[in-house]
Amino acid sequence: MKKYLILCFLSFSFFQFANAQSPEQRIKELGLELPEVSQPMANYVKWRQVGNMLYLAGNGPDVFGKVGEDLTPEQGYQAAQETGLEIIAVLKAATGDLSRIKQFVKVLGMVNSAPDFTGHPAVINGFSDLMVEVFGEKGKHARSAVGVAALPNNIAVEIEVIVELEDE
């Protein structure tokens, strides 16, 4: 019986490994399209690599307004997803291959929100859910989701990311 259970476990593990998809394959399977990486709005860079850590500058969507005032929480969630696609595009530009991402480490999600809006975590879930859909367990991360009085150009959300890269 013990040999059978071990054999079943090994077969299951091999099946999972054999069917593992790269992030690029997963993006294609989900029918997602990565946008072009935009140029920085000022005198900064989109990313900076230090050792195996990759730090991304804040990114935002082409969705404008305050969540809880101009936008519904659902529209905020979609704006966070759109920002996630932009971030994946920046990660692809920075790494050349999304499979180089070992893990997402830390995410800071800022929501341009009405003063009485308190659903910031639910809005930033749009980003977090997408990262797990594309990267699996590697996409899970520590996170802060905060509300702010204003964001540049009145964008709905801004998200910063830190990822760890595989050793080369």
Least confident of 11-15, 24-28, 104-108, 121-125: 11-15
Q: What per-residue confidence (pLDDT) applies to 4?
A: 40
pLDDT score of 57: 97
Mean pLDDT, the chain, integer:
90
**Total-model pTM:** 0.87
| Residue 11's pLDDT band (cuts 50, 70, 90) | very low
Answer yes or no: is 13 within a domain.
Answer: no
Please indicate, yes or no, if residue 6 is contained in any of the structural domains: no
Tokens at residue 140, please?
């899970």
Tokens of 89: 């595009």
3-state DSSP assignment of residue 27: helix
Residue 8 forms part of a structural domain: no
Number of compact structural domains in the chain? 1
pLDDT the model gives residue 168: 76
Residue 12 lies in a domain: no
Residue 140: inside a domain: yes
How would you write 79-105 as a 3-class SS string? HHHHHHHHHHHHHHHHHCCHHHEEEEE
Q: What is the CATH number of the domain that holds 32?
A: 3.30.1330.40
Q: Give, as one character, the DSSP assignment of residue 71.
A: B
The strand pairing partners of 158, in sequence order, are 110
pLDDT band at 30 (very low <50, low <70, confident <90, very high): very high
The pLDDT of residue 137: 97
Task: Decide if 88 is inside a domain.
Answer: yes
Question: At 50, is the secondary structure helix, strand, or coil?
Answer: strand
37 part of a folded domain:
yes
Q: How far apart are CA 135 and CA 22, in angstroms?
A: 8
With 0-12 / 13-18 / 19 or more C-beta atoms within 10 angstroms meaning exposed / middle / buried, residue 112 is buried
For position 10, what pLDDT does the model report?
Answer: 41
Q: What is the pLDDT of residue 45?
A: 97
111 falls within a domain: yes
**Sequence-ordered alpha helix ranges (H) in 19-119:** 23-29, 73-95
Lowest-pLDDT range, 11-25, 82-96, 98-112, 123-137? Answer: 11-25
**pLDDT tens digits along 64-89:** 999 999 999 999 999 999 999 999 99
Range of the domain at 68: 21-165
Measured at the alpha carbon of residue 40, what is the angle toward residues 38 and 42, in degrees to the nearest 5?
150
Give the pairing of strands 101-112 and 142-148: parallel
